[in-house]
Amino acid sequence: MGDRYVVTKANDSLPPLRWEEPPEGPVLVLLDQTRLPGEETELVCTDVPALVEAIRTLAVRGAPLLGIAGAYGVALAAVRGFDVDDAAETLAYARPTAVNLGYGVRRAAAAYHAALAGGGGAERAAAAALAEARGLHAEDAEASAAMAQHGLELLAELLPGGGYQVLTHCNTGALVSGGEGTAMAVVAAAHRAGELRRLWVDETRPLLQGARLTAYEAARAGMPYTLLTDSAAGSLFAAGEVDAVLIGADRIAADGSVANKVGSYPLAVLARYHNVPFIVVAPTTTVDLGTPDGASIEVEQRSGHEVTEAAGNPVAPLGTQAYNPAFDVTPASLITAIVTENGAISPVTASDLVALCGPSAPGHDQVMG
């Protein structure tokens, strides 16, 4: 999957992704999220196949960060003299559900080809692709800060008493973003404002992104948090211990349906039954107006061994078949609000989603055409 840097001393500012230019040539360095929280190890990707493997094995993950990684992957191919079009196609389909990945790839590839068409030559075209990747990286950080503010304002409006008990699913913090994340950026803002009473962290089976990653981030930030199995969420709602659910998204269809980590849809059903706000926080790059509805979202199916094994140890009889979708889809009717860097919409309607996202959203030209 590439070479490794083993980080022996914890570093609070260790980024999930960075571009480096050592003497032997440019590389993309990734914090290997499969090793967290026990070990901080970085992967060094010198070519696109190594990056694709890192994406497929979830060493790098989270919709916004996948878009950034895809853009840097195109730049890596260009700078190192590989076939850019082949690299772009391979990267764009490394994981099918997260729309940001293809979006980032297309932006960097378009910048590369525009520079070529302008007569700049391969070196200038590679520089243009890298500049586009860096630009997307910076834009995502800005979007993260804006979403945090909009989300905090929405919580204050919906829950005027403060002291929020928030339930979250999967991982939506700095490990998935150029900034503080999506849903976790809102949680972090609430924590800094002294308004976070408790963060409830779903384990997020089968790969435990909540237990391994969200709890890792919450602990570092000094948040009051409690880990629970996914199946325990219902009892929390019944006891009145959840004020709001905040999740991220991997793709938002034109009708407002949201694909997110499997287990999100049951939380939306629970939230509706218990009259608890269910809030989706995602940048406009995650909205795909070219996907008409939730049924049109391609849901990634992952290997059954992720369910039948734990850390390589069997937990089910040999030969057991497993159903292992990486995501599920929540209809707009169960979503209280969608928060983006441009603001929030509530209730969630197709027309308001188009107005909120503007021309930057993937698929906007298909809707407006």
The predicted-structure confidence for 71-83, as pLDDT tens digits, reads as follows: 999 999 999 999 9
pLDDT digits (tens, 9 = 90+) for 156-206: 999 998 899 999 999 999 999 999 999 999 999 999 999 999 999 999 999
- Concerning whether 255 is annotated as a catalytic residue, the answer is no
Residue range(s) of every CATH 3.40.50.10470 domain in the chain: 143-368
Complete edge-to-edge strand list for the sheet that includes strand 3-6: 3-6, 41-45, 27-31, 17-20
**Predicted pLDDT at 120:** 79
**Predicted pLDDT at 369:** 40
pLDDT digits (tens, 9 = 90+) for 290-339: 999 999 999 999 999 999 999 889 999 999 999 999 999 999 999 999 99
Architecture of domain 3-140: Up-down Bundle (1.20)
Q: Count of H helices and E strands in the chain?
A: 13, 17
Question: Which residue in 66, 130, 55 sits closest to 99, CA to CA?
Answer: 66
CATH of domain 143-368: 3.40.50.10470
Among the options 32, 250, 255, 328, which is catalytic? Answer: 250
Written as six digits, the tokens of 30 are: 């990734």
What span, in angstroms and rounded, lies between the C-alpha atoms of 184 and 191?
A: 10
> What pTM was computed for the model?
0.94
- Sequence-distant (≥ 6) Cβ neighbours of residue 335 within 8 angstroms: 256, 258, 268, 278, 279, 280, 348
pLDDT digits (tens, 9 = 90+) for 101-157: 999 999 999 999 999 999 879 999 999 999 999 999 999 999 999 999 999 999 999
Residue range(s) of every CATH 1.20.120.420 domain in the chain: 3-140
